[in-house]
Every structure is written in structure tokens, then in C-alpha cells.
Amino acid sequence: MIRQPEPKQDVLDRREAIVAGLRGILPDDAVIAAPLELKPYETDGLSAYRQPPLAVVLPRSTEEVAAVMRLLSREGVRVIPRGAGTSLSGGALPMADAVVIALARMNRILEIDETDRFAVVEAGVTNLAITEAVKGRGFFYAPDPSSQLACMIGGNVAMNSGGAHCLRYGVTSNNVLGLRAVTVEGEIITIGGKYPDAAPTDWLGLVVGSEGQLLVVTEVIVRILPLPEGARAMLAGFRSNEVAGACVDAIISSGIIPVALEFMDRPAIHACEAFAHAGYPLDAEAMLIIEVEGSEAEQDALLERIRAICERFDPVSMRVSQTPEESAAIWKGRKGAFGAVGRISPDYMCMDGTIPTSRLAEVLGRIRQMSAEYGLEVANIFHAGDGNLHPLVMFDANDPESQQRAEAFGADILRLCVEVGGCLTGEHGVGVEKRDLMGEQFEPEELALQRRIKGAFDPGWLLNPAKVFPLVDA
Amino acid sequence: MIAPEHEADIQAAVAEAAATHGHWRIAGGGTQTGLEGGHDVLSLAAHRGIVFHAPKELVVRARAGTPLAEVEAALSAEGQHLIAEPPDLRALLATSGEPTLGGAVATNLSGPRRVHGGAMRDHVLGLRFVTGEGKVFRAGGRVLKNVTGLDLCKLLTGSRGLLGAITEITLKVLPAPERVGTVAIAGLGPAAAVRAMAAGLRSPFAVSAAAHIAPGAGHPRGLTAMRIEDFAASVAYRCDRLRGMLAEHGTAEIFSDHDSRSFWRQVRDVAPLAGLGPAIWRVTLRPSAAATVAARVEAAGGTWMMDGGGAVLFVAGEPALAGARGDGETWVALKGEPVPFPERPEMSRVRAVLDPHHVFAAS
């Protein structure tokens, strides 16, 4: 289990006064302090960890967030910003002495500009709602994490979220133009703007992905992109991970960058097929989902080129979808992968490392070895174009020993990712989950430098503390 | 000026300055002028060489002093290119020397593809840099997706040598397009040009650049051009569709691959403004404001060129032109006096973390 720091006793002692102070700033319905009502906020997508906060506030405006921050920083109270609570790394895990600022009520789309191609949205707008709001005008918002129906743009900015289409369209930081945010002292500031490169120095790039360590982000200016004429997917099954990996290399080497290039290993194929009946090849060791965009003719041309490349790798099966419905069916299994694994195992941990793509077969081989050693099943889903690997480690949370083994297995997988030249997290963030592994990737001095930069924004370490950086015992 | 070959010597030079209240102005090939900093030049040009290029992983790593031309040649041999399309500003700025990868990264130098493929900052996967304390740090890594810890790559990219001396860069690269096409309309005024470019950029045809050359800057009637880059069949199809779609804006011609490449190289290098002013700025702004700002620049005696569909305005003229800047415009001097940009106390404190002894930011 990951150790959390002791709550500040003086803050716990002043609980009633702090809650009263919050009620003085916000409407009654925007402050939650009753234990039963705090329960929904005690965890996030990393549900093995639970801790009810001191209180929860539900502000409706940036000004309210600023007022709350002024009070809390004066009182020395820790703050946990929270979007939809879908973080898989425990990025929104509360602490007993902390106030959660839940941004779910800040869910307005403030401005859409078709000429300058941006949208201004509040932090509590869901990822998918942005695309829904602009698609009638021919636009979309590109990053598409699996949780896009629920996850909020404020959380996407905190974690620099990715998705299945980032090989082509980039991650959150490549699609955000500006932010409105509140400092720890409660000042409202703007970073970036309504056009690219709005500031000579890229403070925006530092803040995106900072996991709530630097500022509380309340509004986001996102870049919106024109929808393609159409998109279509194909799937191809192969006899081994090595062969499928070589096929990925061949596609990239041919000059084609598909909008999505997803890899599933045998356990993942079987779990997803049992769940979604998507027609996945059960006799394949590995499978690729490949998606291209453009007009019908462009899709045909690209899919034909890719089909010819796959042909060279002795595929077990291949299916090029002819209609959007067939594409949707191919995606259905992949998008339901987490639910599918949830059906065959009581619990699973979704890991999130990145590796150089050339090391894929070797890494999957070693994960299989570890799986045997730990006695835990694992299914692998891989954003093959960009090297982002998601091993789903299956365990039983009711058995503490099984959970401990799963955590140790997961940590070994991430160590392996770093060892082969990759990193601990490609899109889920460090949170609490990977906090204590940071030393595997960074030298102590490098972590110290990052800590000092956090301290430059948050000298009292009140913003989302005990995340990202390993605890330093005074 | 010193130009150490090894990172350890770069580090030692900075450490010594830190200990002795010294200053360094970090430079690459010296092809960009007007960079801020101390007086003595610490050139990274001799710290050069490609460390590795992994074409199948879309990654290249090189030392800061590596000439851009060397990186581009290595990529080209594998059918790849730099996504941000960094310009060669020597003609524009009347400088000589060899543009380096480090210089392009330190200034976030990006060309016409900025509007579609992003800036240099969008493709820096990893860095090594020497802080003002003379310590070497790594940021990022060599993989395409990485959210581990604070993103110092983006902060250092474009920091103009004021937050650290970038010694090594790992970049994402992409396959170079098989074919380049251009759809161009002559004779549009600035406002009509922005409207046409906005129509192109919101089309589904993946327009990868959109520029407008004013009549005063190299083209007799003014030219509004949009670029498509892809496989040959796609370029032909999309240029044709785009021309049809733009019919209400004017009659468009389509440039050949050869003409497109040479035209966009001119745009990339801001060639139309070469020799037109003692001072030159890259102004970023909302495209919808571009025509108004261009008119203001012209009224004040300046010359301009639009890139990025109007999101970038290159301005040439007398130094006093910077006084004409308004809200919602970000002016960065490419030549001439740096334009001040206000920063928050948090940001000054970050600068103090990275350069506590003002080695780079000599005041």
C-alpha cells in the first residue's frame, strides 16, 4: 500500500471553523461536510485507495474558486482539485485534512469560434461534450481518452490525457491554447490565449500535465479541428507478437500514419471478443486495429496499401470494414476492453507505461514471464504507433495478498518500461499510484528540481500534495 | 566567445560563471540576432552530432550544435522530415552562420506547418540541459507519449537560452509527404484573404499551411495560398475539391509539386520581407484580427506577411513599429530590441530556480 502523510492536526481541529468559512463564501448547496455525503468523493478511478476529505466544495465560477483558495491558503488547508474522478492513478485521491474543489458544476461552454477555431470551456465540461458542441459546425476536439464520456477537460489538462488517436492528433497539451486558473493564493490568472504561441515563454506547456500541482485550472481554451470526410477501420490477426510488431514497423516505414493503430495480445482479444462479439480472430496471437481517414476513395487507397503490407506478414485473418457500422463493430471490442477484462476477473489494474516500439515483442515476452511468476493473468492493449502500453493486471481485491502481488507485478512492469528506454506513464499521470516509482525514472537531483518548480507556484505545498513526487521525510 | 565540444565543458563554463557572478549568452549557429542575455557568448555549435535516428519509432536525437541541414539530410534519407518545418532566417535577418537544431529548439522556431502540425514545442520528446547553476538535467525521454512528472521540455523549448543551455534534443519526426500541392488565389485584400484561409483551414482536406503575401511584399497583386501534403492521389483530389470550395472567394490556380515546394520554402523563410526593415517581428494573434493589425502596421509604415491563416503576422519596419502593438497580439522580435512581455511572480520564481545567479538572464 502507498503511504500517505499524516493529516495536519491543527487543520482537523479547526474543521468546523473552516467549513463555516466556506459556507460564508459559497451558497449552502455548494459546501459538503456531512460524512455520508463526502463518501462519493473518497476515491477516484484508482478505487483501491479511499480517504474521505475534510469537506467538498462545488463552486460555479472561477471567482468562487478564487474566494475558496484565498480562504484555504490563509488557513493552510490542503486542496485537491477534482474533475469527474476518473483518474486511474489516484490523481484526485483526497486526504483527511484536505478540501476537495470539485469542478463538476463549472460545466458551461462559454464560447465557440469557427473562424479562429477554438472553444472556451469550463473545467467541468466533459471531453465528449466539447466534440458534441462543435461537431454540428464540422469540428471536433481531438484527444479521446477511453473515459471521454465522463472525464472532464480540467482533469484532461491536469493529466495531459491522450487517447487512441494521438499518433495523428497529439495529446491534450498539443490541443490546448490557453487556460484560466487560480493560484494557490487565490488570484485569477490567464496563461496562453485564443491563438497558438500567445506567450513567448511556454508556461502553458509547463502547466498542462502538472497534475494539479501548480494551479487550479477553471477554464480551458481548446483548439478545435475540422472533421475528416470519413474514417474506416480494418483489423488483422497475426501468429505472434513479434510478427504483429514487425507489421506495425512496416506500416510506419511505408510513410502511412494511420489515425489509430491499436495492438491487442491474445488474452485481450479473447476477453474483448467474449464481451463484444466483434468478430475478433480467436486463433491469432496478436491483433491490430488500423484506422484511416479521408474521402471514400482515399480510405480505399490507404486501406489497400495497408492490406498489402499486412499480407506480407502471413496474417491469420484480415477484415477491412466496408461501412461505418463495420468500423464501429471493430472498435466496439477495443473500446469495451476494460469492461471485458472486468467480466473475467473480479478486479484489474490498468497499467500505463510507454516503451520504444522496437522493444514491444521483448517487453510482452517478459511480461508473460512475470505473469507466470506472480501467478496473475495479464492482458495487453497497446497504442502501437506511439508505444503506449496498457497491461491489465487481473487480481482479487478481496484478497489482500492478491492485491499486493498485483501492485508488485505492476511496479515491475513499469520498471521494465523504464529499463528499455521508456517511461512510467504515457497518459494516465503519476498521481499516487506511481509516485513512489519516480526514482526509477529520475535521479534525486532531477526530482529535486521539479519539486522546486512546484514550490515556485505553491510554496506551502497545499495543491494536491503527496502526489507525483515521492514523500520527503523532514 | 567560447564553443566547447563536450557537454562537460559547457557545464563547467556555466558553473564557473555561476560562482563568479559571470554571464553567458547562449548561442547556436548565430543565425538569429536579437536574443537576450549576457554579453559573452557561449556557443553550443561545436557540441554536435546525431546521437541516433530510429526511423520506425519516428524519433531522432541530436546534440544542440548539430546543423539543421545535417538533421534534415539524415531524416530525408529515410523519407522523413521535421514536423515543425523550422525556417532558415539568414536572408531575412541578414546573418550568416549555420542554423542549428539547438537554436531552432531554443527559439521554438516553426514554419508554415505550425497551423496544422504544431510548433517545435509540440515535438520535443526529450532534452538535456544545463541550468544556471551548472548542473545537467534530463527532461522527457525518447518515447512519443510521456506524462511522467512536470513537462520541462515544453518550458525549455522556446526559452531562448534564458532558462538553461539545451545540449541535446530528442524529437518526434514523421514521414515526409510524397507530394505537395498548393491552391492559390491572387488579388485578395487582407480581410478577404483571412476569410478564404479560414474556409480552407476548416475544410476536411487537411490544409497544412495557409499564407497571404501582400502586394507590397513581393507579389504584384497579393497571393493567398493553401497547401496540401500527402500521397499523390490525395493531393490531386483535395486540391481540386479545395479549389471548388474556394470558388466564392476567387479563382484559384493549383501549383505543381515543384512550384509548391519552392513557394512554401519562401514562405517558411519569410523571404518576402527580406531587406525590408531594420526590425522584424513575428506577431501571433487571432486570425480574425489579422487584417486590422495588418492595416495598422501598414499605416505606420511597416510591411507584413500572413502565415498560419492569419494566426501569424510577420512585420518588418522601423523599430518604433513595436509601439503600434495592441492587446491580443504577441510580438516577438526576430531582429531588433526584444519586446517586453509581463510575467507573473510565480514565473519569476521558476526562473530563479533554473537560473538563480542570473548567468543567462543578465539584468
| pLDDT tens-place string over residues A49-98 | 999 999 999 999 999 999 999 999 999 999 999 999 999 999 999 999 99
Give the integer Cα–Cα distance in Å for A180 and A186.
Answer: 12
Angle, helices A15-25 vs A62-75, to 10°: value is 150
Smallest CA–CA separation between B40 and chain A, in Å?
23
Check residue A397 and give its pLDDT.
87
- Confidence class of residue A278 from pLDDT cuts 50, 70 and 90? confident
Q: Please say if the pLDDT value at position B105 is more than 90.
A: yes
When pLDDT is averaged across residues A311-331 and rounded to a whole number, the result is: 93
**What is the DSSP code string of B302-334?**
-EEEEEGGGTEEEEEE-GGGGGG--TTEEEEEE
Query: Which residue spans of chain A are classified as CATH 3.30.465.10?
Result: 109-226
Residues of B in contact with A454 (CB under 8 A): 150
Give the integer Cα–Cα distance in Å for B143 and B263.
Answer: 34
Joined together, the cell numbers standing for residue B53 give: 535516428
When pLDDT is averaged across residues B19-36 and rounded to a whole number, the result is: 85
Smallest CA–CA separation between A424 and chain B, in Å?
6
Smallest CA–CA separation between B339 and chain A, in Å?
10
Q: Which CATH code for domain B7-176? A: 3.30.465.10
Best A87, A168, A183, A197 member to test B by mutation, with max B CBs in 10 Å, is A197
When pLDDT is averaged across residues A149-177 and rounded to a whole number, the result is: 95
Q: What are the distances in angstroms from CA B10 to CA B66, B92, B129?
A: 15, 30, 10
Check residue A356 and give its pLDDT.
94
When pLDDT is averaged across residues B253-257 and rounded to a whole number, the result is: 98
Which chain B residue is nearest to residue A357, measuring alpha carbons? Answer: B57
Contact (Cβ atoms closer than 8 angstroms) between residue B118 and residue B84 = yes
| pLDDT per residue as tens digits for the range A90-134 | 999 999 999 999 999 999 999 999 999 999 999 999 999 999 999
Residues 6+ apart with CB under 8 A from A198: A177, A178, A192, A204, B284, B330
Q: Mean pLDDT in chain A? A: 95
> Which residue is associated with the grid cell 478545435?
A224
| pLDDT per residue as tens digits for the range A237-261 | 999 999 999 999 999 999 999 999 9
Residues 6+ apart with CB under 8 A from A325: none
For residue A219, give the 3-state DSSP assignment: strand
Check residue A473 and give its pLDDT.
64
Q: Mean pLDDT in chain B? A: 95
Joined together, the cell numbers standing for residue A206 give: 509547463
Report the CATH architecture of A231-336: 2-Layer Sandwich (3.30)
Please give the distance of CA A387 from its chain centroid, rounded to a whole number: 15
| pLDDT per residue as tens digits for the range B301-312 | 999 999 999 999
| pLDDT per residue as tens digits for the range A129-153 | 999 999 999 999 999 998 999 999 9
Options 3.40.50.11810, 2.60.40.10, 3.30.70.2740, 3.30.365.10; CATH of A345-428: 3.30.70.2740
Check residue B34 and give its pLDDT.
53
Structural fold of domain A109-226 = 3.30.465
- Confidence class of residue A474 from pLDDT cuts 50, 70 and 90? very low
What does DSSP assign to residue A387? T
Contact B148 A438 (CB under 8 A): yes
| pLDDT per residue as tens digits for the range A295-317 | 999 999 999 999 999 999 999 99
- Confidence class of residue B38 from pLDDT cuts 50, 70 and 90? low
Structural fold of domain B177-339 = Vanillyl-alcohol Oxidase; Chain A, domain 3 (3.40.462)
Contact (Cβ atoms closer than 8 angstroms) between residue B57 and residue A356 = yes
Contact A202 B157 (CB under 8 A): yes
Q: Where do the domains of chain B lie?
A: 7-176, 177-339
Residues of B in contact with A196 (CB under 8 A): 114-115, 119, 284, 308, 311
Q: What percent of chain B has pLDDT over 70?
A: 98
Give the integer Cα–Cα distance in Å for A279 and A235.
Answer: 10
Rg, Å, chain B Cα set: 21
Query: Which residue spans of chain A are classified as CATH 3.30.70.3450?
Result: 231-336
Contact B147 A160 (CB under 8 A): yes
Check residue B307 and give its pLDDT.
98
